[in-house]
Amino acid sequence: ALLGACGSHPNPPASAPKTTAEKPLNQPPRPMTLVRHGRKVTITMYAEETKVQIAPGVTFPAWTFDGTVPGPVIYLKQGDDVSLTLHNLDPRMPHSIDLHAALVAPNQNFTPVLPGQSKTIHFVASVPGVFMYHCESSPMPLHIAQGMYGMAIVTPPGQKPPLYTLVQSEFYKPNNLNAVLTAQPRYVVFNGSADRYVQNPLPAPLDKPFTIAVVNAGPNEISAFHVVGSILRDVQDTGNPQNHLYDVQTITIPPGGGALIHLEFTQPGSYSFVSHAMNQFDRGAAGIFDVKRQ
């Protein structure tokens, strides 16, 4: 699939092969399972075509991990020995999973899983951080634009998982590779739906430091992550404990990138988190932290 996608690059985008299916499916979401025995972690995930809501009143015929966009957050601990099985429940096309946390040969591990088939990959979560995962089947830009991405978090010893996880991503005209490659996004969202946390703010503590993990799934745009009325006390690129930027107002997160961000609020109130790129903000890249004494 990777080579397949790359083999298609000499064609200009407009003539790229369409994988358009005539009629969207709406397969029932099938949740990920994650079972831990000591350091052994066994994960089972499902590729499915499922309708999701991407803005108030707007549905999208998505290709998904486990029936949601983004897919589920995969919580791991540094050193975990992971076996991950992807079942492709989608009857119509191959899918695959590429985890940025998995340092493994892509041509052995991130390869397409045919409809009705499954594949198990194995890796040790040796590097701590906040990682994107995504489908890598051809054409990859379309599989990502259709919704096949999520976050994997690998916490180092002694570190708690973040209070919140936010995946920024863009939605284009559905199932249209040309739109993904050449049009402006219709929506830019956190966790799959424009302004979802404007309508349902995220509770956050007062006078108490906490962390959030942010991944930018793209497929195309760079995020300018910012919290109104606050400052990013410590930004750790890729969530790595060795990387620090202190008291940063706005952080650039490229597509395929992520960060662990330390926050602390000292006044109760409503604090928006946004992409400070106004054309992303306006398309839905906004949410609210509702800060109260807890």
Using CB under 5 A, list all residues that contact Na ion. 100, 189-190, 195, 231, 249, 287
Residue 272 interacting partner from Na ion, Cu ion, its own copies, none (CB closer than 5 to 8 Å by kind): its own copies
Rounded CA separation 95/256 (Å): 18
Rounded CA separation 130/166 (Å): 11
Q: Is 104 exposed, middle or buried (0-12, 13-18, 19+ CB in 10 A)?
A: middle
Which partner, Zn ion, Cu ion, Na ion, none, binds residue 95 by CB below 5 to 8 Å per kind?
Cu ion
Q: Does 81 bind Zn ion (CB under 5 A)?
A: yes
Closest CA relative to residue 272, chosen from 261, 259, 284: 284
**Partner whose footprint covers residue 87, from Cu ion, Na ion, its own copies, none (CB < 5 to 8 Å by kind):** none
Sign of dihedral through CA atoms 204, 209, 211, 212? positive
Q: Which is nearer to Cu ion, 159 or 250 (CB)?
A: 250
Note whether 135 binds Cu ion by CB under 5 A. Answer: yes
> Looking at beta carbons only, is 6 or 278 nearer to Zn ion?
6
Rounded to the nearest whole angstrom, what is the least distance from the CB of residue 101 to Na ion in the complex? 8
Question: Least distance (Å) from Na ion to the CB of residue 87?
Answer: 24
- Token look-up 């400052």 returns 231
Task: Confirm or reject binding of residue 234 to Zn ion (CB under 5 A).
Answer: yes
> Which strands, in side-by-side order, build the sheet including 149-155?
74-77, 149-155, 129-134, 98-99
CA atoms within 13 A on the CB side of 197: 25
Binding partner at 39 among its own copies, Na ion, Zn ion, none, C-beta below 5 to 8 Å by kind: none
The binder of 137, among Na ion, Cu ion, Zn ion, none, by C-beta within 5 to 8 A per type, is Cu ion
CB of 116 to its own copies, least distance (A): 26
